[in-house]
Amino acid sequence: MTANSGLDTALTPLAFLGRAARIHPTATAVVDGPRRWTYAEFADRATRLAALLRTRGVSRGDRVGVLAPNSAEALLAQFAVPLAGGAVVALNTRLAPAEIAYIADHAGFEVLIADAELLAGLGDEVPPSLRCILVAPDADGTQPDPSRFGSKAEALEEELELASPTPLPWAVEDEDSVIAVNYTSGTTGRPKGVMYTHRGAYLNSLGEIVTQALDSDSRYLWTLPMFHCNGWCTGWALTGAMGTHVCLRAVRGDDIWRLFEEEGVNRLAGAPAVLTTIADDPAARPTEGIRMITAGAPPSPTILRRFEELGIDVTQVYGLTETYGPYTECVPQPEWAELDPEERAALKSRQGVSMIHADTVRVVERTAPGEGHLVDVPADGVTMGEVVMSGNGVMKGYFRDEEATATAFAGGWFHSGDLGVMHPDGYVQLLDRAKDVVVSGGENISTIEVEQAVVSHPDVVDCAVVSMPDEKWGERPKAYVVVRPGSTLDEAGVIEHCRTKIARYKVPGAVELTEALPRTSTGKVRKNELRDAAWAGWEKRIN
């Protein structure tokens, strides 16, 4: 929709920063190590960076790359780039140089805002298409010398001082224009660019404000990567709520507990792996007033019970890059408070119902793409189907990939590729990714169910389950397990424990102890790598 009158204003999260700077100009907006920005300073820097980008040739619709850790500059770019008329392409900081080069070429950006250390990691593989690199300050606020990165590199801090501070309108003409392009992990092929619109970002931000209970007293710790789904839109959302952003460049348990105390952090988000990092740190102790959102993989009831003991409220949300991050939330029901902790944790580990800004989530019978009418599975908590979504919480489409877009929206709904069940109370529960289900002797086995059985053992720190070949049954579950240091738990002990928790046909056919699981930067286990290892030497995957 294009705005055409004062009564028909295009929606954009840019308006959040303009409003915060007017209402709370002296309030602390950003904390990044020793640096502190007020909302007036935040808005001024965004204005200057937008003006700088325009002088470097960024015009309406152009993409701008951002390669930075959770930092003040990564947050700044989420406002400054669209303020200049461009679209943010936040790059996964753990990608290999060749992967970054592919995204730079596909997205077609020629300007990059980069952290010096990450830029140095590219070595000689800096994308040749770049004509301008703005090098961001280090963690202590000092400005690195850009000359070591060649003639295209400039010192961001120095250029901002020279840039125009003339106010720009915190508005857009077309709310359906693209504000960001987020690239998927690409574990099953080339990464795809997911397009977010100003309207979608605005509405999803409002959903985050409600779900995370954000307000001006919120002090949000950035344990979630800012590059992942634009931080689930939380960078825009928290600014809209006029809270304080506390940047954390690397997730460490001791730093998190220190910032709980020193900065009064009371909000954060992250994958279940982050929950484990927090709970297992020696500094962990009962606390109060902290709310956390978790997603990326279904959390086990075991870790949720542990957080209840710590006094940290955890809400499970679920979504994908294609849904701006979270789309559903597990809204607690009053009667759950009367249940014993184990029953309550099991209910809280479900993915729940659509968030306030979203439309509808369904679980439908799996059909080939384009087969037409979608049929809902019975809401019995047993019948498995594919999770599909629609509405304001869903992407515009894939950048420069009409075929993939058409496939994703077959039947008029976005197909997640995730398998789950619909419970009688209307709550969705994930059981697996379609490619991760183990089909053993004709029976579908949820790897999530097996993983939760494994991690219920007190000596298990982490676990991932994939399929492995089996001459008789076709395939069986195999568990990769990380145990606590000093534990005597062995493979046989894991299997015996599982026999007390799940049906025998679901028990892992093999267990492999490992020091750590391979994970993406957003905390998801790289199951494709584990699956490749489990099937090594076999010419054909039975599943």
Q: What is the CATH number of the domain that holds 348?
A: 3.40.50.12780
Mean pLDDT of the chain: 92
Q: Where are the alpha helices (DSSP H) in 10-155?
A: 14-23, 39-55, 72-83, 97-107, 116-120
d(CA 393, CA 391): 5
Boundary-marking domain end, from 197, 215, 239:
197
- The whole-number pLDDT of residue 435 equals 73
d(CA 354, CA 331): 9
Containing H/E element for 213?
A: none
For the stretch 336-394, pLDDT in tens is 999 998 899 889 989 999 999 998 899 999 765 555 679 999 999 999 999 999 999 99
Q: In the chain, how long is the greatest CA-to-CA distance?
A: 72
Boundary-marking domain end, from 405, 433, 461:
433
Boundary-marking domain end, from 433, 449, 465:
433
Same domain for 404 and 462: no
pTM here?
A: 0.85
Residue 232 inside a domain? The answer is no
Same domain for 401 and 263: yes
Total domains, the chain: 3
d(CA 481, CA 464): 7
Helix-helix angle 301-310:447-455, to 10 degrees: 50
Q: Which of 486, 496, 479 shows the shortest CA–CA distance to 459?
A: 486
Same domain for 44 and 150: yes
Other CB atoms within a 10 A radius of the CB of residue 6 amount to 6
For the stretch 265-297, pLDDT in tens is 999 999 888 898 999 999 999 999 999 999 876
Same domain for 502 and 422: no
Residue 369 inside a domain? The answer is yes
Same domain for 457 and 429: no
Same domain for 371 and 269: yes
d(CA 12, CA 199): 6
Q: Give the residues across from 293 on adjacent strands.
A: 269, 315
For the stretch 305-323, pLDDT in tens is 999 999 999 999 999 999 9
Residue 241 inside a domain? The answer is no
Residue 358 inside a domain? The answer is yes
Same domain for 516 and 450: yes
Q: Give the residues across from 467 on adjacent strands.
A: 477
Range of the domain at 89: 36-197
Q: What is the mean pLDDT of residues 189-199?
A: 91
Same domain for 157 and 59: yes
Same domain for 424 and 294: yes
For the stretch 105-159, pLDDT in tens is 999 999 999 999 999 999 888 999 999 999 999 999 999 999 999 999 999 999 9
Containing H/E element for 335?
A: none
d(CA 327, CA 198): 17
Same domain for 190 and 288: no
Number of H helices and number of E strands within the chain?
A: 17, 26
For the stretch 214-229, pLDDT in tens is 999 999 999 999 999 9
Same domain for 102 and 182: yes
